[in-house]
Chain A
Amino acid sequence: GENVEQHPSTLSVQEGDSAVIKCTYSDSASNYFPWYKQELGKRPQLIIDIRSNVGEKKDQRIAVTLNKTAKHFSLHITETQPEDSAVYFCAAADSWGKFQFGAGTQVVVTP
């Protein structure tokens, strides 16, 4: 069936180090891959997204890479800061607007 796998489930990093979260998807019709950040008790917020015709996208300290052949995409956070601590969700969507989410990664940035 269609699903998105996300790893790791928890990630602890020292402030200033990089964090990498990886997702794989199975639906070859997926062509849109957003990443959401959810702080405790708050709503998910889009932090970056990538379309299927692009291999990499960067926005300041955040970057996302996509490998359509291998059906995996990754989120990279550089120079992590305590405010980066949150749960991060990846998602894959097809042209019909059907979204599949990963299970989330709890990122903890320690000073």
Chain B
Amino acid sequence: DSGVTQTPKHLITATGQRVTLRCSPRSGDLSVYWYQQSLDQGLQFLIQYYNGEERAKGNILERFSAQQFPDLHSELNLSSLELGDSALYFCASSETGMNQETQYFGPGTRLLVL
């Protein structure tokens, strides 16, 4: 157990809908990362937050947004969902968000868009 929690574990929804994925980092970690893992795309870095502020951006679609709250938990919002958004979404956390720190991954949220 990495200490990073994600909810929900599974999510089934329909195209066009909007969902919110939640992540709580390890105690003491200030930085949160979001990743998308699909069968044909591998592991894709989406976005990083540090202490409430966006720090780095990867291949995140405009239909997706994220934020980190004062209590350091983070939410990833996925809107206008398409079939291709079906994937496993991981959150990871690290202490200060410096790039040479170990990231600890949560168990993931499996999203299925029908």
A interface residues (Cβ-Cβ under 8 A, vs B)? 31-32, 34, 36, 42-46, 49, 51, 89, 91, 93-104
**Which of A49, A95, A98 has its CB near the most chain B CB atoms (within 10 A)?**
A98
B interface residues (Cβ-Cβ under 8 A, vs A)? 2, 31, 33, 42-45, 48, 50, 55-58, 90, 97-100, 102-103, 105-108
User: What is the bound-complex CA distance between A85 and B36, given in angstroms?
Assistant: 22
**Which chain A positions have C-beta within 8 A of B90?**
43-44
Given pairs A43-B107, A102-B42, 17 additional interface contacts (CB within 8 A)? A32-B99, A43-B90, A44-B105, A45-B2, A46-B102, A96-B55, A96-B56, A97-B48, A97-B56, A98-B45, A98-B48, A99-B56, A100-B45, A101-B42, A101-B45, A103-B42, A104-B43
User: What is the bound-complex CA distance between A50 and B52, given in angstroms?
Assistant: 28
- Whether the pair A32, B100 counts as a contact (CB closer than 8 A) is yes
- Whether the pair B43, A31 counts as a contact (CB closer than 8 A) is no
Chief secondary structure at chain B's binding surface: strand
- Whether the pair B58, A43 counts as a contact (CB closer than 8 A) is no
User: What is the bound-complex CA distance between A99 and B45, given in angstroms?
Assistant: 6
**Which chain A positions have C-beta within 8 A of B108?**
43
**Which chain B positions have C-beta within 8 A of A97?**
31, 33, 48, 50, 55-56, 97-99
Q: Considering only CB atoms, which chain A residue lies closest to B98 in the complex? A: A97
User: What is the bound-complex CA distance between A43 and B108, given in angstroms?
Assistant: 7
Q: Considering only CB atoms, which chain B residue lies closest to A4 in the complex? A: B42
* 6 pairs of A and B residues whose beta carbons are closest in the complex: A43-B105, A97-B56, A99-B45, A101-B43, A103-B42, A98-B56
A-B contact pairs, 14 of them (CB 8 A): A32-B99, A32-B100, A34-B102, A43-B105, A44-B105, A89-B43, A93-B100, A97-B55, A97-B56, A97-B98, A98-B48, A100-B58, A101-B42, A104-B42
A41 to chain B, nearest CB (A): 9
B76 to chain A, nearest CB (A): 16
B22 to chain A, nearest CB (A): 16
